[in-house]
Amino acid sequence: MRTCVERSARLKRNGRDMGHTRVRVKIQNVFDWGAAQDQKGRRIRTITIPKAVVDTGATNLRLPKRYIRKLGLRPLGHTEPVNTAVGVVESKLYAGAMLTIEDRTEVFSVLELPDTAPALIGVLVLEALDYMVDPTTEKLVGKHGEKRVILLY
């Protein structure tokens, strides 16, 4: 007899696995971006991830180590305990990731993942960008419509 997880992992819709929301994200080094505002022509380290995984069970932005190196993000000098499916592990924390999904941009700290893991977009990122997951389409939609709304209360 199959478990519910095995059954749900096998469900398909329109030839795709159900239950996986993936989005295209652009991430820039915010320190490079700031310097480029003063020094025109300065290079801004940037990556584009075509299929980052939206994980509403995760809190923060999590990136594989290779992306952190490519962006040149700054370590904050300590690790954070992270509760995972295999238990609590320590993860390095970095500053300076300016993330853009469609036309919405915000700056985030990043928790490091192994290079074998996909980039994860957590719920705090979704909240900051005013997005939510539409489970019927497996796409991000604006919580307050097409324009981002920043809540101050």
Residue 53, pLDDT above cutoff 50: yes
Per-residue pLDDT at 79: 84
- Please give the structure tokens belonging to residue 89: 């592990």
Residue 70, pLDDT above cutoff 70: yes
* pLDDT tier for residue 14 given thresholds of 50, 70 and 90: low
DSSP strands (E only) in 30-150: 46-54, 61-64, 74-84, 87-101, 104-113, 120-121, 131-134, 139-142
Cβ atoms of 107 and 96 closer than 8 Å: yes
Segment 109-125 shows an average pLDDT of 94
* pLDDT tier for residue 41 given thresholds of 50, 70 and 90: confident
**CATH match for 17-142 among 2.60.120.200, 2.60.40.730, 3.40.630.30, 2.40.70.10:** 2.40.70.10
Give residue limits of the domains in the chain: 17-142
Residue 113, pLDDT above cutoff 50: yes
